[in-house]
Structure 1
Amino acid sequence: MPFRIEEVQIDGPGPGEVLVQVRAAGLCHSDLSVLEGLRKRPLPIVGGHEGAGVVMEVGAGVVGLSAGDHVAMAAVAGCGRCRVCSAGRPGLCQAVTGARAEGLLATGARRLHLGNGDRLNHYSGISVYAEYAVVAAPSLVRIDRRVPLDIAAMFGCAVVTGAGAVFNSAKVRSGSSVAVVGLGGVGLTAVMAAREAGASRIVGLDIQPDKFALARAAGATDCVDAHSPEAVQHVRELTDGGVDYSFEISGNLAAVGLAQEVTARGGEVICVGVGRTDAQFTVQQMQLVTEERVIRGSFMGGGIPQQDIPRFAAMYLDGKLPVDLLRSKHIQFAELNHGFDLLAQGGTVRQILLPHGVV
């Protein structure tokens, strides 16, 4: 179902909420999966979960943010009180997950309305395919003004997810070998992070070989066509029997299987991509035991955005995470649906919507 460009009504921020002028928003495969009906969300809805902008107004009780601040908008925000939030894993907060499944903000409020007053839902508590957004304060991370806002937008999902999977979930060791299956925005960020973590061999796999030059620029030492019948054998030959860590980015079940096959005995498979809501994959139980592989999930980088995004932004400013490599082009609202067509075809990495026409 394509997006329609309409004028809608937005309330001011309530307690614990912030009004943001959205200056840039990334087109992500997670949004595409909703358009394709693979992941269900309540409709009608204002899409977009990766963005950056400028704070316009803060609601009662908000601390640490002021009008004029530049912020990255992250789809991870916890209640701050439950056991997973207390353990530093806000992405797993069930209270917030439930609210977002109903099209609400993490505060439980709805600030969007159609022109006739009918209900309009928030997407992942963000809804950045719009000129303005009201979001819960924990979804915002103040970001260094030296980071251009069209680059800052990618920190809210692509960067925090890809780099977080490497640094937080897998904790990649220096000298280890890594495979990244799927070389979109998240995958290429994982490649950059693996290089920064000191991985000695980084193999990028994708069904689109035209992405390989970009992957090598991001830090891949080798690239392999994931469609090749010899792909698994090739990776194993490159890495003396398989990689220590494989990152599956696309959420495609064939790619999940490939990630498992290229992982060495005792290695880890980190599943990052989100597929169909009802998708399942199988694991040979005896092989899992006797080869001591670890299969883990990593949701939105498995960390705390308020800590991770400033750290990753500093790495970008130091030239250690060249996130600007991910930016494919700027688009306007009229190009939004075509942009998702291009994303579905695999011919682009990160298109950036500019809701106000300029960064």
Structure 2
Amino acid sequence: MTRVAILEQPGQPLALGTITLAKPGPREVLIRTRACGLCHSDLHFIDGAYPHPMPCVPGHEAAGVVEEVGSEVRTVKPGDHVVTCLSAFCGHCEFCVTGRMALCPGGETKRRKDEAPRLARAGEQVHQMLNLSALSEAMLIHEHACVAIDRDMPLDRAAVIGCAVTTGAGAVFNAARLVPGETVAVIGCGGVGLAAINAAKIAGAGRIIAADPVAEKRALAQVLGATDVVDALSDTAAEEIVALTKGGVDHAIEAVGRPASAELAVKVLRRGGTATILGMMPLDCKVGLGALDLLGGKRLQGALMGMNRFPVDLPRLVDFYLRGLLDLDTIIAERISLDQVNEGFQKMRDGHHARSVVVFD
């Protein structure tokens, strides 16, 4: 039996319980979970903003150790330290072969409906969330949902690379393709936004402006490389950012998932600038550019999971941490047990800090 946090119904606290995991199929990997970060994307499902079959096990930002592999697994082996990633990929669809693995529909990485489910309770299926279900002592996943990393990497820090850092840093390196000297505004200084700020510093951005309504998060942003900070809820936030950069930024990265933040990202662009939206917006939300924005050559794009190529990107991010370039210690606000998972999500709702990480014994 495996101890997990289960979402029985949207809007309810997670319930602690046990499930059974199936034996690994030919392309599947059984992982002993060591750490799982709490991500705002989980909250969208927990609070009912995004639909998902119930009951299910949330959690998608994790690291652990491989215990068992299926007969056809070639990418990892028992004993490997791994980081998981929700953007499981098939490896041969149009998106995969053109280098856009984050967009892979990933249907082949899931079990068929006529197969036994990966997760079950009393003989009934427990649904797997985002290919992982990492708020669990163990995970059973497709081999293309994890990658082996350097064993010197602390697994509690490695966990946040699986989503927050992959998304935030990927927005800078892969989606925005920031050129040294360019200016960037990051709107929202949670885990994803802080990772984007850190990545912009690594990439050599000329000026990095962090916008967040919480003073403590603005202070964290400065530790991670922000050159300037702005209260995102100020009536003059856009004007302040445009004035600081003498006309607007080359890149604006929205890392919150709120329509007002996306509007701010568009407002602060200079001519030819690009706004990259990372946050999970309300499903009925529309974000756009005005006629003058289009005439000024401004661009608006989404970047699912930072448009990552995680088998390549994640080991590089681990290397950045081990070399002292990537600051994951500042992003992690607290380490908690699985018993404290609901308190951790409540702190996220309250906006108190960047990241809570559940650590398993």
Give yes or no for TM over 0.5. yes
CA RMSD of aligned residues (A): 1.2
TM-fit CA distance, 1:332: 1.1
Aligned mates of 2:82, 2:37 — CA distance in 1? 14
Aligned partner of 1:328 among 317, 333, 336? 333
Residue 344 of structure 2 corresponds to 339
TM-fit CA distance, 1:95: 4.1
Aligned partner of 2:140 among 130, 134, 140? 134
Residue 165 of structure 1 corresponds to 171
Aligned mates of 1:84, 1:22 — CA distance in 2? 29
Aligned mates of 1:64, 1:28 — CA distance in 2? 27
Deviation digits for residues 90-114 of structure 1, max 9, x if unmatched?
A: 2111243xx7xxxxx5344631001
Residue 119 of structure 2 corresponds to 112
Aligned mates of 1:153, 1:2 — CA distance in 2? 23
Aligned partner of 2:30 among 9, 12, 19? 19
- Match of 2:239, as an amino acid? Q
The alpha-carbon distance between structure 1 residues 91 and 107, as it changes in their structure 2 partners (threshold 3 A), is farther
Residue 252 of structure 1 corresponds to 258
Residue 53 of structure 2 corresponds to 42
Alignment size in residue pairs: 347
Aligned mates of 2:294, 2:211 — CA distance in 1? 27
The alpha-carbon distance between structure 1 residues 118 and 107, as it changes in their structure 2 partners (threshold 3 A), is closer
- Match of 2:242, as an amino acid? R
Mapping of residues 238-317 of structure 1, within 5 Å: 238-284=244-290, 286-317=291-322
Aligned mates of 2:180, 2:215 — CA distance in 1? 27
Aligned mates of 1:148, 1:211 — CA distance in 2? 24
Identity of aligned residues (%): 39
- Structure 1 runs (4+) deviating above 3 angstroms are none
Residue 236 of structure 1 corresponds to 242
Does the 8 A contact of 1:77 with 1:106 survive in 2? no
Residue 154 of structure 1 corresponds to 160
Where 1:220 maps in the other structure, the secondary structure is coil
Aligned mates of 1:61, 1:107 — CA distance in 2? 15
Aligned mates of 2:340, 2:15 — CA distance in 1? 11
> Structure 1: which 5+ runs fail to align?
100-104
Aligned partner of 2:79 among 65, 68, 71? 68
TM-fit CA distance, 1:41: 1.0
The alpha-carbon distance between structure 1 residues 304 and 281, as it changes in their structure 2 partners (threshold 3 A), is same
Where 2:82 maps in the other structure, the secondary structure is strand
Aligned mates of 1:106, 1:88 — CA distance in 2? 21
Aligned mates of 2:174, 2:68 — CA distance in 1? 33
Aligned mates of 1:342, 1:215 — CA distance in 2? 19
> Structure 2: which 5+ runs fail to align?
1-11
Aligned mates of 2:337, 2:328 — CA distance in 1? 21
Aligned mates of 2:355, 2:174 — CA distance in 1? 23
TM-fit CA distance, 1:355: 2.8
Deviation digits for residues 205-233 of structure 1, max 9, x if unmatched?
A: 01112211110010000000011111111
